[in-house]
Structure 1
Amino acid sequence: MKAIVSKKPNVKWDDVAGLTPAKHELQRAIVFPQRFPNLYDEKRKPSGAILLYGPPGAGKSYLAKAVATEVDHTFFSISAGDVVSKYLGESEKLIRQLFTLAREKKPSIIFIDEIDALCSNREGGGGGPDNTGNEHTWRMKTEMLVQLDGLHAGDNDNTGVVVLAATNLPWALDPAFRRRFEPRIYIPLPDKEARKQLFKIHSGKWGELLTDVDMEELAEMTGGYSGSDVANVIKHALSVPLQKVQRATFFRKTGSTGEGMYTPCEGHEKGAMEMTWEGVPKDGLSEPPVTAGDFKQVLRDRRVKSSVGVGELERYEGWTREFGVEGSS
Structure 2
Amino acid sequence: MSGPNFLNNAIEIIKQAIAEDTAGNYEQAYTHYKNAIEYFFVAIKYDKNERQRESIRRRLVEYIDRAEQLKGHITKPQEKRAEAAAENTSNGAKSKGKDDGDVDGETRKLRQGLEGAILSEKPNVRWDDVAGLEGAKESLKEAVILPTRFPQLFTGKRTPWRGILLYGPPGTGKSYLAKAVATEANSTFYSVSSSDIVSKWMGESEKLIKNLFAMARENRPSIIFIDEVDSLCGSRSDSEPEASRRIKTEFLVQMQGVGKDDTGVLVLGATNIPWTLDV
TM range (shorter): 0.5 to 0.7
Match of 2:246 in 1: 139
Instruction: Tell me the CA shift for residue 38 of structure 1.
Output: 2.1
Q: Which amino acid aligns with 2:200?
A: K
- Alignment correspondent of 1:94: 208
Select the structure with the greater relative contact order (CA < 8 A; seq sep ≥ 6). Answer: 1
8 Å CA contact 1:5–1:77 kept in 2: the answer is yes
CA distance in 1, matches of 2:199, 2:119: 22
Name the residue aligned to 1:161: 265
Cα distance in 2 for partners of 1:22, 1:49 equals 14
Q: Does 1:121 align with 2:235?
A: yes
Deviation at 1:152, TM superposition (A): 4.4
Q: Distance in 2 between matches of 1:120 and 1:11?
A: 30
Cα deviation for residue 151 of structure 1 reads 3.4
Residue 173 (str. 1) matches residue 277 (str. 2): yes
Aligned residues with identical type, % of pairs? 61
CA deviation profile, 1:161-201 (whole Å, cap 9, x unmatched) = 000000001011011xxxxxxxxxxxxxxxxxxxxxxxxxx
SS of 1:100's equivalent in the other structure is: helix
Structure-1 residue corresponding to 2:220: 106
CA distance in 2, matches of 1:151, 1:3: 26
Q: Deviations over 1:14-58 (max 9, x none)?
A: 000011110111111111111112211121111110000000010
Taking only aligned residues, the RMSD between alpha carbons, in angstroms, comes to 1.0
Name the CA distance, whole Å, in 1 between partners of 2:170 and 2:255.
Answer: 25
Please tell me whether the aligned partners of residues 96 and 143 of structure 1 are also in contact (alpha carbons under 8 angstroms): yes
Partner of 1:164: helix, strand, or coil?
Answer: strand
Counterpart secondary structure, 1:2? helix
Letter in 2 for 1:173: L
- CA pair 159-39 structure 1, distance change in 2 beyond 3 A: same
Partners of 2:258 and 2:264 in 1: CA distance: 15
Whether the 8 Å contact between 1:150 and 1:158 is mirrored in structure 2 is: no
Q: What pairs up with 1:122-271 in 2 under 5 angstroms?
A: 122-125=236-239, 133-153=240-260, 157-175=261-279
Structure 1 residue 123: Cα displacement:
2.8
| Cα contact 1:40–1:46 (8 A) shared by 2 | yes
Residue type of the alignment partner of 1:78: V
Corresponding residue for 1:214?
A: none
C-alpha distance in structure 2 between counterparts of 1:50 and 1:28, whole Å = 12
Q: Which residue of 2 aligns with 1:59?
A: 173
> Residues 29 and 150 (structure 1 numbering): CA distance in 2 closer, same or farther, change over 3 Å?
farther
- Larger Rg, first or second structure (1 or 2): 1
Q: Cα deviation per residue 1:71-90 (whole Å; 9 max; x = unaligned)? A: 11000000001000011100
CA contact (8 A) 1:122 1:174 kept: yes
> Distance in 2 between the 1:151 and 1:83 partners?
23
**TM-score normalised to structure 2 length:** 0.58
- Across the two proteins, how many residue pairs are aligned to each other? 165
Instruction: Return the offset for 1:150.
Output: 4.6
Aligned mates of 1:66, 1:51 — CA distance in 2: 15
